[in-house]
Structure 1
Amino acid sequence: MNVSQGSSDLRALRLSREMPAQTSSGYGMLLVVLLTILAIGGGLAVTASGARLLGVLIMGGSLLIGLFVACGFYFLQPNQAAAILLFGDYRGTDRTTGLRWCLPWLTRTKISTRVHNVTSDRLKVNDLRGNPIEIASNVVFRVTDTAQALYDVDDYNKFVFVQIESAVRAIGARYPYDDIEHQETTLRGNADVVSEELKVELQDRVAVAGITIDECRLTHLAYAQEIAQAMLRRQQAEAVIAARQKLVTGAVTMVESALQMLSEKQVVELDDERRAAMVSNLMVVLCSERDTQPVVNTGTLYQ
């Protein structure tokens, strides 16, 4: 199959587009039904007066008209629509709420345009670094094109659920779970960015079904059980290393500032050996995990 034929087949799957249906309010036709009931009563009166044939004709005609009109009634609730078909040919969608009426040979298929809320199952996915993670998402969507939702996909609810799973897997494999240095976008640290990209990804996938995605949010994100303990230890080690780096950087800055102030104010003259000893002592005090015990030197440094 060449490219032009494939694109033609794809366009054939997207021919359905919602358009307004030619229907009418049912309250006017309800008046017609009431008139037919009165006509049937009049026919009974005519039959009782002796004109049986005329009475039968009046009652029969009124009954047929009443049945014809009654078969065309349907009603729509708020945020509900009805797709109208004429022998399988799509004739439009009625979104007007209340009692409605159309010709009896037109088929009405109701569809909800209310907001739907779906939470996907917990999926096991390998993130960008190959680590197995568990991820789930909550998606809020609604039908905006009833013709596409009904006639371009077999079952739009199942279609959306499958596409949610596919999109979540794609996004989960696109980013790492975590980055202790915060130099790249991660699933755990940039939930808003990931959720927005998931929304865009999913919208592209469900556009063929006439669905609009209103919101996507990650509801579950964790390492898979088989590596959870190992990854926790790695996170703890990375956190300790990062903390140590900041501690050393701060200590070096403080020591440099102390030496500079002592030199500028001429508090004490330090040669290289005493300067090195002072730096060593300050670094021990500032970087130690435990409280240091002072040692008073009553002699000189060179003894």
Structure 2
Amino acid sequence: MEKVFKPVSGFLVLILGIAGILFSIYLFGVAGSLHSVGAGAIGVIIFTLCVFFLKGLKVINPNQSCVCTFFGKYVGTIKANGLLWVNPFYTATKVSLRSQNLNGQQLKVNDKMGNPIEIASVIVWQVSDTYKATFEVADYQQYVQIQSEAAVRHLASTCPYDNMEDETANITLRDGGERVVAMLEAELNERLAPAGIIIKEARISHLAYAPEIAGAMLQRQQATAIVAARTKIVEGAVGMVELALEQLSKKGIVTLDEEKKAAMVSNLMVVLCGEKAAQPILNTGTLYQ
């Protein structure tokens, strides 16, 4: 598990280290002028110690961390910012805590009905556990990329593209909206939890039929729309014909036998359901001529 510790400030060590290096340089000068071996040896020791202790200085920027190990043993994670000093024997690995974007590439997969589709996603992720991100996986950034692609593929295979072939589907990729996003985020968090990664947001950035079936699916959608529009037109036309016959009968404007009613219904349906405007023909005789 992640352990957070705050090391001491590094400014005092920096000042003492610089002062020690300057003093060792002074001793080198004294040893050279007086030919004193002792002063030179002390200068070497002081210089070596100063360089060694200065090696423990670490600069931690905002939203960054430093994972420290001591000869292979995990010591803790530094999340404090500024100039800090740690044991020079510690091995430090910096891990960014900033939110990062993953713009996934377009994947060609089959949806639940077996139709080839193209899908891509945009994911915002962040490291939440530096211990898992550093030691549980080999490369957490590559792990995020591969597992995100696997999650998108699985999502596409569990939902149909739309309701054209599966009318009983509760969730489709095209019309699912926030429910599809919630499913994607839940699966991503489950897959990336072993690496200490949390998903802040996930969105479908691209969704379309594959090129080889896009034309056929477009024609099918157009046909479905035309049928739906024709159905509405026929329903409206039947209502208008029914209203016309009812009003003529109620007001006694004209009395029509069954044959003339059928002829009138036929003419009205042609006029109301036709794609083009009807050309009227005036009958100057009687209805039976």
Q: Residue type matched to 2:56 in 1?
A: G
| Percent identity of equivalent pairs | 46
Paired position in structure 2 for 1:94: 78
Question: Secondary structure at the residue paired with 2:158?
Answer: coil
* Matches of 2:169 and 2:237, distance apart in 1: 24
* Matches of 2:286 and 2:239, distance apart in 1: 28
Paired position in structure 2 for 1:254: 240
What whole-Å deviation, never above 9, does each CA across 1:18-66 have from its counterpart, x for those lacking one?
2212422221211121231343255357657969365345424422330
Cα offset for 1:234? 1.9
Question: Secondary structure at the residue paired with 2:132?
Answer: helix
* Matches of 1:59 and 1:266, distance apart in 2: 126
Residue 152 in structure 1 maps to residue 136 in structure 2? yes
Residue 189 in structure 1 maps to residue 189 in structure 2? no
Runs of 4+ with deviation above 6 angstroms: none
Given candidates 189, 194, 199, the residue that maps to 1:208 is: 194
Given candidates 262, 265, 276, the residue that maps to 1:276 is: 262
Paired position in structure 2 for 1:230: 216
* Matches of 2:29 and 2:213, distance apart in 1: 88
Cα offset for 1:127? 1.1
Alignment coverage as a number of residue pairs: 287
Q: After superposition, where does 1:134-149 map in structure 2 within 5 Å?
A: 134-149=118-133
| Stretch of structure 1 that moved more, 83-92 or 118-127 | 118-127
What whole-Å deviation, never above 9, does each CA across 1:102-149 have from its counterpart, x for those lacking one?
001111001122222222232221112111112222222121111111
TM-score (norm 1): 0.84
Cα offset for 1:249? 1.9
Given candidates 156, 160, 164, the residue that maps to 1:172 is: 156
CA contact 1:39–1:58 (8 Å) conserved in 2: no
Distance 1:202 1:183, change over 3 A: closer
| Stretch of structure 1 that moved more, 209-218 or 44-53 | 44-53
CA contact 1:45–1:55 (8 Å) conserved in 2: no
CA contact 1:122–1:134 (8 Å) conserved in 2: yes
Paired position in structure 2 for 1:245: 231
Given candidates 89, 96, 116, the residue that maps to 1:105 is: 89
Cα offset for 1:72? 0.4
Unmatched tracts of structure 2, length 5 or more: none
* Matches of 2:230 and 2:40, distance apart in 1: 102
CA contact 2:6–2:80 (8 Å) conserved in 1: no
Residue 74 in structure 1 maps to residue 58 in structure 2? yes
Q: Residue type matched to 1:229 in 2?
A: G
Paired position in structure 2 for 1:285: 271
Unmatched tracts of structure 1, length 5 or more: 1-16
CA contact 1:43–1:54 (8 Å) conserved in 2: no
